[in-house]
Amino acid sequence: MATKEEVCACIRKIGILPAIRVHAAEDALFVAREMLEYGIPVVELTTTIPDAARVIAELSKTNPHLMVGAGTVLDIETAKACVDAGAVFVTSPGLDPKIVDFTVKHGLCAIPGALTPTEIMMAQNAGADMIKVFPCAQVGGPAYIRAMRAPFPHVPIVASGGVDQITAADFLRAGAQALGIRGKLIPPEAVEKRDRNWIKELTGRFLSIVHRARQEYGLT
């Protein structure tokens, strides 16, 4: 199992954290394996997926090079089920210090959601490894991330919520270390049709955007 340091390093290196929110376990297995195939070895599997813990367990067992985390974790019971299944990180749409504490105590990567300066401070104090600013596009987009980076220059931010091909580079330039992306990377229709070429194309585009933005702006 990957260490929390390895998970954080992977998310920073790739610059993309795919959020897999689909309607069936088989869809989740398909998408996660496609992400790995096309160059993204870390995925967030939301607990809204039926049998999410089972899917995490199966992916952890059959795809050892894929780092699978649990997303949309809203309580300790769900966090425990996902961690027991093999999740290597836990993330939530908002901040619950109890979930962060649980994750940290298990030696796993904690990525709580936060929006306001107060929540970011609380997440830091709780021991968060990275902080997912969500929903960032709806509250100002890259400008909001830039505003948060001013008082929190050393906080590893994952910009999530409304990131697309047009805004991705701007979020990185504003200071996000990674981008949480869902529908713009994993279209529901592509999943339904098992359209591997569509997913491959989008994965390649987003990876290229991250690479070019980092080169152009001298980002690390």
Write down how long the chain is: 220
What interhelical angle do 97-105 and 76-85 show, nearest 10? Answer: 30
Among candidate residues 182, 181, 180, 167, the one with its CA nearest the CA of residue 213: 167
* Selected catalytic residue, list 4, 34, 58, 132: 132
Q: What residues form DSSP beta bridges with 110? A: 90
Q: Which of 49, 48, 50, 32 is nearest to 40 (CA)?
A: 32
Q: Is 132 a catalytic residue?
A: yes
Distance CA 186, CA 181 (A): 8
Q: Would you put residue 156 in left (φ > 0), alpha (ψ -120 to 50) or beta?
A: beta
Please say if 26 is a catalytic residue: no
Given 4, 34, 44, 58, the catalytic residue: 44
- Catalytic residue IDs: 44, 132
